[in-house]
Amino acid sequence: MVNHPGNRLRILREQLGFTMRDVETSSIRLAEKHKNEEYVMPVSRLSDVETKGVVPSIYRIYSLAVIYRLDVHELLSWYGIDLQDAAKDISVSEPPKTHRIEPLAKNVKVPTRIDPSFDLRKTVNFGRMIEQWGVVPFAELQKLSFDEFTYGYVGTDDFTMFPLLLPGSFIQVDEKKNEAVEAVWRTEYERPIYFVETRDYGFICSWVSTKGEAIILQPHPLSPAPVRILRQEREAEIIGQVVGMAMRLDRFAVPERQPEQKVTARLN
């Protein structure tokens, strides 16, 4: 088949003027540089890749991409792996613990043209307002945000700030606001929520107050989660204040409140 990845690799090799032995020699140099024999592409294996449809290992895919001056992402797409699908495929798993979110790809699809009738004051189906999607380098998106922002995901088992912040939410965190503010809040919506990394519990979104060297992680009153009292820096660190969120309203179930869960943690 002309479009088979093995055949395309053969055509590309011949266009570059490489023999199979040339490819093997180059891959040996790469393996020596990285001190890993997995990068070596023997002539016999390259022949199997080109003619028998054998799928190369991840190390050999890298070797071929480097030797043929081919983008690794493009080479993977020849084998049916499109890294642009990573963002939409992430929904196949729902981690139970709150965690940081790292970029999944260098390029992402974003709206590049919005319906001119879009009105920020009105509630709309945003998907219907997008006229065109385009692929944009991830680095370019960084220009649209500030460096002090980080992004997180509230685990499906994390009900600490329920119902104010639902499990499964995506959050934006301002890392410059990493000190707990003490004040009298008129409503729960005014009180800042912080993204906290703890030694024993992982990441937690909660209200925070401090007393001496203690940091108190206060859940919402309707939450089944306990109050946690930890030692600052050694057991817990405030990453920043939650300044934005995106929530689904149809994908959570409230666990039954367990009386023993409300036992307050004590300082050792």
- The predicted-structure confidence for 157-202, as pLDDT tens digits, reads as follows 889 999 999 988 888 899 999 999 989 889 999 999 999 999 888 8
Handedness of CA 42, 43, 44, 50 (dihedral sign): positive
Does 110 score more than 90 pLDDT?
no
User: What's the CA gap between 208 and 185, in Å, rounded?
Assistant: 13
List phi, psi (to 5°) of 261: -70, -20
Helices assigned H by DSSP within the chain: 5-16, 20-34, 43-51, 58-67, 72-78, 86-89, 126-129, 138-141
153-188 in b/e form (b: 16+ CB < 10 A) is: bbbbebbbbbebbbbbbebbbbeebbebeeeeeeee
Domains (ranges, CATH) in the chain?
A: 5-78 (1.10.260.40), 149-262 (2.10.109.10)
pLDDT per residue as tens digits for the range 117-166: 656 465 455 555 555 555 555 544 454 444 567 888 888 888 999 999 99
Given a contact cutoff of 8 angstroms between Cβ atoms, the answer to whether 230 and 265 are in contact is: yes
Does 267 score more than 80 pLDDT?
no
User: What's the CA gap between 134 and 54, in Å, rounded?
Assistant: 33
pTM given for the model: 0.57
Helices assigned H by DSSP within 110-179: 126-129, 138-141
The stretch 57-62 carries a mean pLDDT of 96
- 143's CB contacts (< 8 A; 6+ apart) are none
